[in-house]
């Protein structure tokens, strides 16, 4: 268990002086950039008995061992298991934190650490309960929040916490990281995932579907409406619209500046499609996708929408 290489700067920022570690800390940045992993390792470091002798944590002390078996009395987390059916972190989870901090630390002068993953999922009652804890933080307590949606946290929670911004990995970071997983494997969709290797890995079960849809889109004017399959919706309409947006963006980019961004491996096909496309129809198609995205979260007749979208798609090409 280690932090990702693109988070080294954040690590250095935070652990330059552990004694002055803040009571409240918010780690924020893009989804799937590895922040939750960072928060967990930061928690382990704060609890490890030998952290002054090592860069992260020692991995062999009693505290590290309890941490690994998820039984450390001075560490608590609110994670996916704590969410209700609507993916909301409710007040009960935060009340548990209050009870947790009321007990003194297991170690003499040790810290008690709580991590709330994806803290933007707290409802208002939970947020207010957390605010109460942050207003009068117990000695040696640390509360780490992670979020990909900083603006949805209460301003009063933010003002009582230190904010640490995380960025997504560079393309070079991403390719280096993927090489460590499998140095011989090609990752043709890395740019489709905005060069975020964790997003790519998290969505890997959808790659066959991605290939299937792209092979249909490659037909351009000859796109066959009967190719549309219920599975195309298995990740929700937004996922499909995002794919269409990126695909049409690349056709437009090819037409305008002869480049691809999201699908560099499909250069030949995209260039061909771009040459046979009508720019104003392409722009109209993109506008349509944006409109559909706006109401995609409300109950709509998906099949009707899709038919219209793909009939438009075919009209792009002359």
Q: Is 147 helix (H, G, I), strand (E, B) or coil?
A: strand
Six-digit token string for 305: 């929408």
Q: Which is nearer to Zn ion, 57 or 187 (CB)?
A: 57
Residues in binding contact with Zn ion, number by CB under 5 A: 6
Q: Rounded CA gap, 252 and 277, in Å?
A: 9
CB of 53 to Zn ion, least distance (A): 9
Residues whose CB is less than 8 angstroms from the CB of residue 261 and which lie 6 or more positions away in sequence, other chains included: 191, 246, 249, 250, 253
Q: Which is nearer to Zn ion, 33 or 51 (CB)?
A: 51
Q: Rounded CA gap, 316 and 293, in Å?
A: 19
Say if residues 310 and 227 touch (Cβ distance below 8 Å).
no
CB of 46 to Zn ion, least distance (A): 11
CB of 38 to Zn ion, least distance (A): 18
Total residues found in the chain within this entry:
318
Q: Which is nearer to Zn ion, 58 or 154 (CB)?
A: 58
CB of 11 to Zn ion, least distance (A): 16
On the 0-12 / 13-18 / 19+ scale of CB atoms within 10 A, 117 is: buried
Q: Which is nearer to Zn ion, 41 or 190 (CB)?
A: 41
- Asked if 150 touches Zn ion (CB under 5 A), the answer is no
Residues numbered 28-57 forming contacts with Zn ion, rule: CB under 5 A: 48, 50, 57
Rounded to the nearest 10 degrees, what angle do helices 124-135 and 91-102 cross at? 20
Residues numbered 60-99 forming contacts with Zn ion, rule: CB under 5 A: 61, 64
CB of 63 to Zn ion, least distance (A): 5
Indicate which single residue of 5, 58, 96, 188 sits in contact with Zn ion (rule: CB under 5 A).
58
Q: Which is nearer to Zn ion, 50 or 215 (CB)?
A: 50
Q: Rounded CA gap, 104 and 141, in Å?
A: 10
Q: Rounded CA gap, 140 and 34, in Å?
A: 26
Q: Which is nearer to Zn ion, 19 or 86 (CB)?
A: 19
CB of 59 to Zn ion, least distance (A): 6
Residues engaged in binding Zn ion (CB under 5 A): 48, 50, 57-58, 61, 64
């Amino acid at each position: 268990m280690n932090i990702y290489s693109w988070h080294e700067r954040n690590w250095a920022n935070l652990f330059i002086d552990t004694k002055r570690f803040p009571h409240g800390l918010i780690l924020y940045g893009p989804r799937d950039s590895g922040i939750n992993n960072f928060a967990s390792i930061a928690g382990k470091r704060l609890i490890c008995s030998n952290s002054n002798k090592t860069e992260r944590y020692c991995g062999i002390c009693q505290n590290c061992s309890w941490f690994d078996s998820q039984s450390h009395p001075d560490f608590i987390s609110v994670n996916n298991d704590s969410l209700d059916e609507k993916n909301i972190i409710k007040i009960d989870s935060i009340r548990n934190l209050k009870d947790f901090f009321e007990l003194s630390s297991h170690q003499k002068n040790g810290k008690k650490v709580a991590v709330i993953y994806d803290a933007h999922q707290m409802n208002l009652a939970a947020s207010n309960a957390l605010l109460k804890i942050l207003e009068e933080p117990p000695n040696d307590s640390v509360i780490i929040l992670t979020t990909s949606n900083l603006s949805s946290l209460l301003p009063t929670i933010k003002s009582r916490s230190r904010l640490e911004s995380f960025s997504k990995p560079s393309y070079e970071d991403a390719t280096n990281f993927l090489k460590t997983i499998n140095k011989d494997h090609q990752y043709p969709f890395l740019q489709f995932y905005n060069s975020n290797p964790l997003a790519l890995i998290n969505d890997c079960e959808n790659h066959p579907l991605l290939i299937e849809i792209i092979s249909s889109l490659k037909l351009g004017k000859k796109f066959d409406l009967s190719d549309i399959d219920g599975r195309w919706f298995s990740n929700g309409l937004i996922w499909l619209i995002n794919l269409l947006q990126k695909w049409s963006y690349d056709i437009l980019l090819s037409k305008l500046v002869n480049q691809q961004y999201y699908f560099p491996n499909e250069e030949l096909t995209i260039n061909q499609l771009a040459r046979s496309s009508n720019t104003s129809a392409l722009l109209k198609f993109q506008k349509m996708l944006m409109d559909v995205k706006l109401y995609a979260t409300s109950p709509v007749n998906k099949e009707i929408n899709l038919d219209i979208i793909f009939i438009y798609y075919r009209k792009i090409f002359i």
